């Protein structure tokens, strides 16, 4: 029993296993969103999501996150759909709950520049920045470590 437990702990800490689970997440996000992987390494992927939108996935450590960025003043409905599909693929949070949390976080960020909303064991965080180059909206969904 101890040997089996020790083996499981070694396998769980193995970089090859971590890469495999990241590969699985990358594939789930790709399939859920219909996007193609534009850049990839062992614990990160960037997906081609359109001319003004990018989608990223980080699976380093014990906490994965997915983010969507939009360059422009008014975020289109496709942005929300992309974020919700990717977020659901990574965390399993119900799409309707995730859509509402993302809306609340983005609305809060419009007023305060940055906002977070917790939802079903995950956290949505959004930031809205206005610069000389134009507006940028960034939202991320982070898995929260289980306690």
Q: What is the mean pLDDT of each run of 10 residues along the chain (147 residues)?
A: 30 37 93 95 92 92 89 89 96 95 94 94 94 90 74
Predicted pLDDT at 82: 96
Structure tokens at 9: 């702990």
Is residue 32 within 8 A of residue 111, CB to CB? The reply is no
Predicted pLDDT at 60: 80
* Count of structural domains, the chain: 1
Predicted pLDDT at 80: 92
Reduce the DSSP state of residue 32 to 3 states and report it: helix
Which residue segment(s) compose the domain that 139 sits in?
2-143
Predicted pLDDT at 139: 96
Predicted pLDDT at 62: 76
């Amino acid at each position: 029993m101890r040997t089996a437990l020790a083996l499981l702990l070694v396998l769980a800490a193995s970089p090859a296993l971590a890469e495999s689970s990241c590969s699985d997440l990358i594939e789930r996000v790709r399939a859920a969103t219909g996007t193609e992987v534009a850049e990839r390494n062992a614990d990160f992927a960037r997906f081609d999501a359109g001319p003004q939108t990018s989608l990223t996935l980080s699976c380093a450590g014990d906490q994965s996150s997915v983010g969507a960025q939009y360059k422009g003043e008014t975020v289109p409905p496709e942005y929300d759909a992309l974020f919700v599909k990717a977020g659901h693929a990574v965390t399993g949070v119900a799409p309707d709950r995730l859509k509402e949390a993302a809306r609340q976080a983005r609305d809060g960020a419009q007023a305060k520049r940055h906002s977070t909303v917790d939802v079903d064991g995950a956290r949505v965080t959004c930031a809205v920045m206005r610069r000389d180059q134009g507006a940028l909206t960034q939202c991320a969904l982070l898995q929260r470590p289980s306690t």
